[in-house]
Structure 1
């Protein structure tokens, strides 16, 4: 699609990575999920992020997934590839390989194992990644103990042309509110605070990349359009339907919980990779009840 035409707004689900019984990536099931989301009217696709177990994927697996997603999307919407690594060199190595697949942008966490870089180092980190990969970058601000302060995110968006957005996560609406108040013009602010999608849109978030979108994309697209149309009664009603879904999938082994939610809807997100553990009977019942309450599953 090219950087000039890149539009990162609206509902952008982060897809699961389906694994088979030998913990290999099941590309057929991944392609089916891409088709499902496109049919739901999403505005973009994200692969190899947290919901896609990106931290567990080799470079070869990441490339295989991104290549399949780009082929399946066929230019209909932007495709974002996540990178969750702990050195600048590794991020660049992944980024250069992912660029060859034709993805439109990278979603990159800060380094976080054992330490948190200071502001100057964080700026240089993202500056080097954009320069050395030649791809637009979305800052994935998700690590709870290494959150990039709103002021630093603002500088990243304003000072580095290749940084085109931030996915503000970490479950902290306060950081998101501060960032939206600052109103950066250098890139988009996307929310990943799942239980507060509607308030985030009202504060000015230009879209979302979060797990709830993956589980019930049609409902999330409907909410996005309701907000855009000023139909706040519908948007609030959908918020209350989405809330139990997030509560049900938020927890240990979250990606496996998400795959269970997909399976209950007749979709196949594959297995989880070890050491992720299958959900219990009680957890599955909770997820089922949430989907019923959301109106996407019959009682």
Structure 2
């Protein structure tokens, strides 16, 4: 598979950003983390997304992280690079950088300018400018419907009509009815477009609607379980799917409680507890979790059987 033939489907973990305690990037741990996440069965890995604290990374750091990922695992799996920018000018700059360096697709975040509400033409123009800057496939980042950054169903239809290089959507709408409508009405193999669920709080029912993949920060820690669940659903093996979902369930509560801004913070703490990363340092405005919450995360990992003591043959 050449890098530009990736169809943007399948299980796509989003990696974390290991930091030293002085908040500089821990490149050695980042390389190890990428190797840990690149488990058999994944389709790609996302870098420079929410999970890797992209809002706190400079342009140069984002370029470095993409290049390190390409060096470490780029010969094994495609790399999806996040395009996180408030201005269209900066979004275009990031898109061109990712294309030049060897990314296989771009995950386009909504501009935070849209938090006050955006006219449809603003959103469409943002995507068109990115699309005009590169021929890489684009993945829409859909926010929860109760936020101003969410795109209406009509706007999604217009985006697909007017921006042909859009190939998938990371669907985090948070509404099961809306999610099913998106899968049934927009997902298509005729004009390739894949719905990638990020509904980690209800992953099994989400996949049963027919999603063509998962794009989730939880994959940083449970990529093997996500692959097992996705493959079981695709094979119509409900018993196996329920078995895997039962193991995932404790991690859902560990990672996705309130406030949601701490979800990836919690995943970092899990990585430390599992012995995979040396530090759970996060850049402000994020703050370290308290001891009681860290203990709850540890209990959840044990309950889920994650770590050396919980190893099992997920392919069976």
- Per the normalisation by structure 1, the TM-score is 0.93
Counterpart Cα distance in 2 of 1:52 and 1:172:
25
SS at match of 2:218: helix
Residue 120 (structure 1) aligns with: 121
Q: Following TM superposition, by how much is the alpha carbon of 1:211 offset from its aligned partner in structure 2, in angstroms?
A: 2.1
Tell me, in whole angstroms, the C-alpha distance in 1 between the residues paired with 2:187 and 2:68.
33
CA apart distance, 1:43: 1.6
Per the alignment, residue 226 of structure 1 pairs with 232
* Structure 1 residues 111-132: Cα deviation after superposition (integer angstroms, max 9, x where no partner): 1334232222212211111112
Q: CA deviation at 1:244?
A: 2.1
Q: Which of 252, 258, 267 is matched with 1:258 structurally?
A: 267
5 Å-filtered alignment, 1:206-221, equals: 206-221=212-227
- Paired residue secondary structure (1:11): strand
Shift, 1:237, TM fit: 2.2
Matched, 1:199 2:226: no
Classify the secondary structure of the residue corresponding to 2:81.
strand
SS for the counterpart of 2:86 is: coil
Kindly indicate whether residue 62 of structure 2 is the aligned counterpart of residue 53 of structure 1: no
Q: Where does residue 148 of structure 2 map in the other structure?
A: 145
Gaps of 5+ in 1: none
Alignment-derived partner of residue 97 in structure 2: 97
Verify the 8 A CA contact 1:43 1:77 in the aligned structure 2.
yes
Q: Note the C-alpha offset of 1:194.
A: 0.6
CA displacement 1:105-158 (0-9 Å, x = unmatched): 111111133423222221221111111233221111126332011222233234
Per-residue CA shift, 1:196-222, capped at 9, x if unaligned?
222222111100111222221111111
- SS of aligned partner of 1:24: coil
Count of residue correspondences:
299
Task: Give the Å deviation of 1:170.
Answer: 4.2
Deviation at 1:74, TM superposition (A): 2.8
Match of 1:289 in 2: 299
Name the TM-score, length of structure 2 as normaliser.
0.88
Matched, 1:277 2:287: yes
1:166 aligns with 2:169: yes
Q: Is the 8 A contact 2:8 2:105 kept in 1?
A: no
Q: Is the 8 A contact 1:111 1:117 kept in 2?
A: no
Question: Within 2, Cα distance between the matches of 1:219 and 1:269?
Answer: 23
